Structure 1
């Protein structure tokens, strides 16, 4: 009986350990072994020895197969992705201006300082624009024209000579300039502060609704904008990103131990199946050997 059992059992043991050693030799030995100054065959293991070539090949395959413009665009434009992006943006737009400002500023003191600087800047720009557009001169001209129109058919029109009207215009313009310089900043800043305070309690969606824009219109607009950004952005992203180079560099930077752990984590069952299959094939070959 032992004579008939030994060949299949020996075949199973040889097949098992042969495949086991073959799997281990993918990573072992991790460094080349030298004897009398000569490198021993099959050292280092297959993967450590060919690591640069494998890194380059994997990077190229991943880049050419998966990170294509068509694949990335399809992923970003999938209905679930579009819906998620639009919902996220709408959620952000539903936050109040104060909440967003606090998130950007970090603290309430910094937010208050930011609001004050904004108010000062807007006030300064309004006054600067008013001077550039000659607002005092326009007010003076309007006043003079109004006086002339009112007194056109009265006795007083006889005393309104061009010289007199020019003097009046100059006095009005000078007074408007003085008011703008002395009272304009305080007056404008108070109104701007009140306007900013009112805006802080509202969200961009509320502001859009006040102009007659519904949430659905905002959603549709964001969807169109998202599609345009994806279509133009993916192409630019692929041109800027060297996916193949990044993967190659990352694999080359990994230690052999890390690569072995990674492969074993992903393919442990498959490699164990190969080892066990060696035992099965060895057993079957031992059984066949009994026929001869």
Structure 2
């Protein structure tokens, strides 16, 4: 009977020691949280294993995430997967559809999402800045160039092609003016002024012929002159010659005739009036977007997603390197309190830790049983 009691006592002692040892070992993974000292002497095994290796653990976790978990190859496969691409396209289509069918204006949406007020005015201001800079750069680069070099060839040909029409128009308008009462009055005044400049001779001619009779003789001759084919050719050649002279002028020669403010303002007003985008900014999205909605959803969005996925996949190595993911993981783990880490680990592995404690008790009991048999046999 004493033998059985001895063996049972040794089994119980072994089980208690084994269970307490494993339980203590588990607790020593996290506790104590901080180093403990008696005077200048540090108490052994303080702090616990994980608090002591907290920084090293954070660094190793960062390297593990970058080297084995979040890799460029793995992310690339995920990005190129059909499931991800379709999901991305579907999500974008829903978001864009909601935006395009909204009763809010583009300006209001921009203000809500980006905090940018008066977006149309800002756009016009930016347009004016671009036009002004482009105008100045154009003048600076081409100041020694001739108008013939700067003007489009099609414009030059168009001007030359219309020179005969311009010639005919000028002569016809002159002919119509001379035959009008106003034109006759102007000719009469010119004749009278001419005769006055001739002194006595002019007075004699005016006295003998009379102003009206002289006008009646001069006016038909002027009309004949304007209707003459030679006059047409003369004026056409004159206009052609002047046009050639204009083309040979350098930009610096005509720069003084150009008003920068008027030109820039005219271009900006033209853009504001004729480019629908400026007007759309202040209109509800649903009023003008319907004609573009189908094309955007079914063509542009899938193409955009495919291009974006290819772009990201081809540059994931560089992006991950620039992102410094290992540093982010390390910093997050370092900022994670040991108490919270212990609570998290125990909440996940509490059952397994209990089993380890029980296993220690069982192994301790078995060892106690063996020791009991050995002691009995020796005794």
SS at match of 2:315: helix
Alpha-carbon separation, structure 2, partners of 1:221 and 1:141? 42
Whole-angstrom distance in 2 between the partners of 1:141 and 1:129:
27
Indicate whether 1:65 and 2:81 are aligned: no
Question: For the Cα contact (< 8 Å) 2:15–2:365, is it kept in 1?
Answer: yes
2:15 aligned residue (12, 33, 36): 12
Shift of 1:232: 2.0
The structural deviation recorded for 1:93 is 4.2
1:23 Cα offset (Å): 0.9
* Residue 149 of structure 1, CA deviation: 5.8
* CA deviations over 1:115-153 (Å, ceiling 9, x no partner): 54356568768988999886799868735531416869x
For residue 248 of structure 1, what is the aligned residue in structure 2?
330
The equivalent position to 1:88 in structure 2, one of 76, 91, 94, is 91
1:269 is aligned to 351
Name the TM-score, length of structure 2 as normaliser: 0.57
Asked whether 1:160 is paired with 2:235, we answer yes
Contact 2:164–2:236, Cα closer than 8 Å, also in 1: no
Question: What are the equivalent positions in structure 2 for 1:270-289 lying under 5 Å apart?
Answer: 270-285=352-367
2:115 to 106, 124, 130: 106
Whole-angstrom distance in 1 between the partners of 2:32 and 2:82: 49
Q: Shift of the alpha carbon at 1:225?
A: 0.3
CA distance in 2, matches of 1:281, 1:71: 44
Q: Is residue 2:27 matched to residue 1:24?
A: yes
1:45, CA displacement in angstroms? Answer: 1.9
Q: Deviations over 1:150-187 (max 9, x none)?
A: 869x82523424334555897xx9xx979x94894586
Distance in 1 separating the partners of 2:234 and 2:327: 88
**What residue in structure 2 maps to residue 79 of structure 1?**
82
Q: CA 1:98/1:157 → structure 2, altered by over 3 Å: closer, same or farther?
A: same
Please provide the CA RMSD for this pair.
4.7
User: Bigger shift: 81-90 or 33-42?
Assistant: 33-42
Q: Deviation of residue 47 (structure 1)?
A: 2.0
Q: Structure 2: how far apart are the matches of 1:135 and 1:177?
A: 15
Displacement of 1:68 in angstroms is 2.0
Match of 1:148 among 143, 164, 181: 164
In structure 1, runs of 5+ residues without a counterpart are none
1:77-104 CA-to-partner distances (Å, cap 9, x unmatched) read 2333222222333345443455653445
1:260 alignment counterpart: 342
1:105 Cα deviation (Å)?
4.9
Q: CA deviation at 1:218?
A: 2.6
Distance 2:84 2:242 in 1: 70
Which 10-residue stretch deviates more, 56-65 or 4-13? Answer: 4-13
CA contact (8 A) 1:124 1:185 kept: no
Is the Cα–Cα contact under 8 Å of residues 123 and 189 in structure 1 kept in the other structure? no
Between structure 1 and structure 2, the one with the greater Rg is 2
Identify unmatched segments of 5+ residues in structure 2.
101-105, 169-227, 247-253, 375-379
Structure-2 residue corresponding to 1:50:
53
Q: State TM-score, norm by structure 1.
A: 0.70
Give the 5 Å matches for 1:120-199.
120=128, 142-143=158-159, 145-148=161-164, 155=229, 157-165=232-240, 181=262, 184=266, 188=270, 191-192=273-274, 196-198=278-280
**Separation of aligned partners in 1, 2:362 and 2:163:** 113
Q: Deviations over 1:37-83 (max 9, x none)?
A: 43333232222233333333333223221122211212222333222
Contact preservation (8 Å) 2:14, 2:361: yes
